[in-house]
Chains A and B, each alone.
Chain A
Amino acid sequence: MRVEKRGSGRPLVYLHPAGGVRWTAVLERLARTRTLHVPTFPGFDGTETEEKVTSRQGLAQRVGDYIEKNIGTACDVMGCSFGGAVALWLALERPRLVDHLVLECPGGLQTIDPALRKNPHAFYKALFAHPEKIAYEKKPEDIEARNRAMLAHYGAEDGMDSKLPQSLDRIRAITLVLHGTEDRIIQAETMRLLKSRLPRAFLVYVWDAAHSIEVDQPERMSAVVESFLERSEAFVVPYA
């Protein structure tokens, strides 16, 4: 599994969405104070699949093996959408490896509206409230198509991971859940479910952001995530 590392400081593992790895302004900012470990899930972004890894649960084991071997201690984990489901599985099955957990509109807990999936234009609008803010380079079409195909490979084509919701209350990691107020891919009800089931979770809505919060509101998202990672529960307390 390919892993890119940037920055220096306390380790933070970032698990990418179905679009593959994109170095957004949020990741660049986090890399100023942390060592970011950004794996590319096998099969994404032109990499090869691995025969035995065919589910988001399996990807979590693969990431867990990486953390044990290369970081060697509990670390902060942040997962976006598809990567959010992987992060949930990691926190469930390898809890001692996860310190703070950040879930950016995580997948796996609901089916995605089929009409939305079939309509690329509508899906794009659901992804970005502010597409003009996209700062990363567009990937070649064959890579994007292959990334989309990986959803089926990992049993995630409809978004749902049926075993995941029933296990949520076993997660012990302190968790920050982020949801864009304009997100039409992941419903607010799903975020409420997550908030109610995770014993130590904080839910924050990011105003004027769709599914890609990192693109739509990078400053706001960075501020919340940094505060949460630095101050844990105390991030709710305002400070000058």
Chain B
Amino acid sequence: MKFCFFHLMPFTGVKEVTPEWPTPNRMFDPSRAHELYRDYVDTMVYAERCGFDWVGCNEHHFSPYGLMANCNLIGGALAYPTKKIRIAMMGNLVPLNNPVRVAEEYAMLDCMSGGRLVAGLMRGIPHEYIAYNIPPDASWSRQREAIALILKAWTEPEPFGWEGEHFQFRQVSIWPRPLQKPHPPLVISASSLESARFAGEMRATMGMVLISDLALAKECIQVYRDAARAAGWEPTPDHILIGMHTVIAETDDEAKDALREARKYFDRVLMGGMRTAGRLVLQKTRYYQDEANRGRMQNRLAKREAATLEEQIAGGMVLCGSPESVVQQIRRIHSELGNGIFNFTMKVGDLPDAVVRRGMELFRDRVAPHVRHL
């Protein structure tokens, strides 16, 4: 079993609660951000010493939810202070960006880190499309084409041009190319049936977050496996990544209290504007292609929000408790889903960094030794 320490880099300390999106940046304090970036990067570097196999982050825009408009900058900051841990960009929002630029920056990170990049190629969450003025209706066709172009840019030894629906380039020949051959391993979000199918077709590791119940998660994994077989390959457990909020403390009560408190900030401040924008995009576009997919996603989110913390723990939606409890929770989820990677978001909302670090140490000392072999 492998473990990823994932960081959203939330902006903490916002007092005002607003449903607006974008979140007005009058609430942003650059000097606070200066401190947060330093602390967060230090914590991510510390993940290597806590026995994590991957350290990850991702891209978000226009809100305190995450401070990484370009997570590759953080990847660069992690490349030299770390030695062995894989640097997982999970990832760049491919449909929103210039695919050649994504290919170049990922290739830089792979070379800088000595071949430790895990390349997340994500479609993003709906409201990000407003930020970059990209029609959400085109998200799938942009995603498919952009990934094909990125793979071509990584693997093509001769200059080439690209004449596509969304992207046109007459000459591409990126410097550097990635160190890993034929290219860095891919992670593609697979939290819906359609995205799970796509991840299988693309020979990528499937990344699942926002699990609402394990039966639905199993269904996505089965779709992924079927698509992979149809594409001529067989996924291993290491190709299945399950991500969730994770709080580990000395006791169950301590962990639950900390998560409940941190979730208030997460739900009210970090998610406030995003819900507004997300609803708008989902109502007015074909982001989820059809009504069935849209309905499934909305039901899933509603189910998560309606569940108590105890129900979320029991349902495999979060990992929370003492080290011994988290070991049991990990074993249970692994036995149900057969995943080979857990993605821990341990900085939940405004959970104090000291609590996050203590949780990382408890993971190293009292969780990992009991589940590493799985």
Contact = CB atoms under 8 A, between A and B. Distances in A.
Interface of A: 181, 192, 195-196, 202-208, 217, 220-221, 223-224, 235-238
21 contacts: A181-B148, A181-B152, A192-B156, A192-B158, A195-B159, A196-B157, A196-B158, A202-B159, A202-B170, A204-B160, A204-B161, A205-B160, A205-B162, A205-B163, A206-B163, A207-B145, A207-B164, A220-B164, A221-B163, A235-B170, A237-B170
Contacts of B31: none
Interface in B112-167: 145, 148-149, 152, 156-165, 167
Contacts of B152: 181, 205
A229 to B, nearest CB: 14
A106 to B, nearest CB: 16
B152 to A, nearest CB: 6
B171 interface: yes
Contact of B170 (A192, A195, A204): A204
Nearest to A237: B170
B158 A203 contact: yes
Nearest to B170: A236
Nearest to A203: B160
B140 to A, nearest CB: 13
A205 B158 contact: no
Given A181-B148, A236-B170, A236-B171, A203 B163 contact: no
Contacts of B163: 204-207, 217, 220-221, 223-224
Contacts of A207: 145, 148-149, 162-165, 167
Contacts of B159: 195, 202-203
Q: Which of A181, A192, A205, A217 has the most CB of B within 10 A?
A: A205
Contacts of A203: 158-161
A203 to B, nearest CB: 5
Contacts of B148: 181, 207
A224 B149 CA distance: 17
Nearest to B166: A207
Interface of A is mostly: mixed
A208 B158 contact: no
A148 to B, nearest CB: 29
B164 A195 contact: no
A217 B165 CA distance: 10
A192 B149 CA distance: 16
A201 B164 CA distance: 20
Contacts of B157: 192, 196
Given A205-B160, A238-B170, 14 more contacts: A192-B157, A192-B158, A195-B160, A196-B158, A202-B159, A203-B158, A204-B163, A206-B163, A206-B164, A207-B162, A207-B163, A207-B164, A207-B165, A223-B163
A220 B55 CA distance: 41
B247 to A, nearest CB: 45
A181 B158 CA distance: 15
Contacts of A238: 170
- In order of increasing CB-CB distance, the 7 nearest A-B pairs are A207-B164, A204-B161, A236-B170, A195-B158, A220-B163, A203-B160, A206-B163
* Chain B CB within 10 Å, residue with most, of A208, A223, A238: A208
Contacts of A181: 148, 152
A206 B161 CA distance: 8
Nearest to A194: B158
Given A181-B148, A202-B170, A235-B170, A208 B165 contact: yes
Contacts of B149: 207
Contacts of B165: 207-208
Contacts of B170: 202, 204, 235-238
A204 B164 contact: no
Contacts of A237: 170
Nearest to A196: B158
B208 to A, nearest CB: 28
Interface in B293-322: none
Nearest to A213: B163
A208 B160 CA distance: 16
